[in-house]
Chains A and B, each alone.
Chain A
Amino acid sequence: MGGREATLVLLDENGIRCDGRKVDEPRRIMIKAGGLKNADGSAYIEFGDNKILVGVFGPRDVHPKHMSNTDTGILRVRYHMEPFSVTERKNPAPSRREIEISKVIKEALEPAVMLEKFPRTAVDVFIEVLQADGGTRCAALSAASVALADAGIPMRDMVAACAAGKAADTIILDVNNEEDQAGQADMPIGYMPSLEKITLLQLDGVLTPEEYKKCVETGIKGCKIVYELQRKALTDKYFGNGEK
């Protein structure tokens, strides 16, 4: 994925997008649960050209001690992009954007994770973006949720995430890097499919109320696709070689 072409057609007359997808078609998604031996739980996701690795530790002792909460456990999330994850070297120090995404993902996971069962402990989620291509926060959130389940941390529901947006005056599912840069709106959504609740909703761009509604609906459809893959990743790992 190189730089943007001068004349990029986001949507051609046949309704095919710049990377050959249909309007309501997500990118190729692959999720794998486990894989890291030393972490309590882990997951790897390939979301189009995004490649993200997530490791989870905990519940464990809180250090520094003053951060601990006697009423509940705490969730700590670090989202980090590798220097080689983008075309031009990224400084490995946490940027303003990474700090924000860490916070956003943490708040999107909190409604699902039952931290109140482990007072005075911390659950740490480490997200490493190995390769970025637009929509990393959604991919990272989906993978983090699988890693948390793999670590055996009690959760009310899985959190699946997918973005929707608007490009060439059309609502599209799963915005890629080009569409994000040249498009009109980008809306990442985090969704708990069984509880039917939204845990993350951001919007960058301008939408009419009708478009907004359609965008949310499209995004949720995408989340449900992601959820099926999350389920598959976990069932493959835990129930892989034994039938019901």
Chain B
Amino acid sequence: MENKRKYVIPGDVITTGPFRPEQNVILDGNKIISTAIGISEIYDDSIKVIPLTGKYIPKIDDLVIGKVVSHTSLSWELDINSCYVGFLPAQDVFGRDFSAHADELSSKLKAGDLVAARIANFDRTRDPLVTIADRDLGKIDSGHLVSISTSKVPRLIGKRGTMIQMIEMATNAAITIGQNGWIVVSCETPEGLLKAKKAIKMVDEMAHVANLTDQVKEMLESKGES
């Protein structure tokens, strides 16, 4: 079926008929109404709106970048750029034999440290539980933190990761994207770092532009020659 895209604001009737409402849409009778400012997309029998604004809402299995805010004797609290704080239990870092008496939490993670974490569990009743017990997760030792709007994260990744791969290839930088809009860029050369940061900012500012990939590519290449 034709992939119809439309600009919508809250309250706009996207279409009527037997469609499955997905993200940011509600069903009112047989009308499908948008609840956000964004771009509506119709895929087969489902409808969703890609929002252009809004805060990060945790989702299970999302990779996020968190900043340690404080800790109790049993857990850390992470700022994950959301309306909820991430909750990182000590067992996750120290292992099963963690003892609140023997182990000091600040020896592993201090306030201000950045971590790459995954949302392990989240529901309406509790703050999101995050974990760093996985490959590629854990404390981030080096890199620059760049913050972009949460709604632009999918654009930065691109279709099947094309956009981010392109930036990584062109600048030789390692980029970790948190779904919460926080991104860590690390690169051995300062030029590559600056260029990668510029490319990310460019995506953030021009996310709605159609041929963005080409424009970013042009920017990356032009700087490379000079």
Residues of chain A whose beta carbon lies under 8 Å from any beta carbon of chain B: 40-41, 58-61, 70, 112, 114, 117-121, 149-158, 192-195, 231, 234-235, 238-239, 241-242, 244
Contacts and interface: CB of A to CB of B under 8 A. Distances in A.
Contact of B9 (A58, A60, A231, A241): A231
B12 to A, nearest CB: 7
B33 to A, nearest CB: 6
Given A119-B124, A194-B33, A242 B10 contact: no
Contacts of B54: 151-154
Given A114-B35, A152-B54, A242-B209, A158 B11 contact: yes
A212 B221 CA distance: 67
B43 interface: no
Contact of B10 (A40, A59, A117, A157): A157
Contacts of A58: 55, 83
A2 B57 CA distance: 49
B10 A156 contact: yes
19 contacts: A41-B53, A58-B83, A59-B55, A114-B26, A114-B35, A118-B83, A149-B37, A151-B54, A152-B36, A152-B52, A152-B55, A154-B10, A154-B24, A154-B35, A155-B11, A157-B10, A157-B11, A194-B12, A235-B7
A168 to B, nearest CB: 35
Contacts, number: 86
Contacts of B57: 117-118
B11 A195 contact: yes
Contact of B83 (A61, A194, A238): A61
A61 B210 CA distance: 37
Nearest to B24: A154
B13 interface: yes
Max chain A Cβ within 10 angstroms of own Cβ: one of B9, B83, B125, B151:
B9
Nearest to B85: A61
Contacts of A239: 7, 208
Classify the secondary structure of A's interface with B. Answer: loop
A194 to B, nearest CB: 4
Contact of A155 (B10, B52, B55, B210): B10
Given A121-B84, A156-B11, A244-B5, 18 more contacts: A40-B55, A59-B55, A59-B83, A119-B125, A149-B36, A150-B53, A152-B37, A152-B51, A152-B55, A153-B54, A154-B36, A192-B11, A194-B13, A194-B33, A234-B9, A238-B53, A239-B7, A242-B210
Contacts of B11: 155-158, 192-195
Contacts of A114: 26, 35
A211 B136 CA distance: 69
B97 interface: no
A231 B8 CA distance: 9
A193 to B, nearest CB: 7
Contacts of A244: 5-7
B35 to A, nearest CB: 4
Contacts of B5: 244
A234 B37 contact: yes
B28 interface: yes
A235 B53 contact: no
Contact of B125 (A70, A154, A156): A70
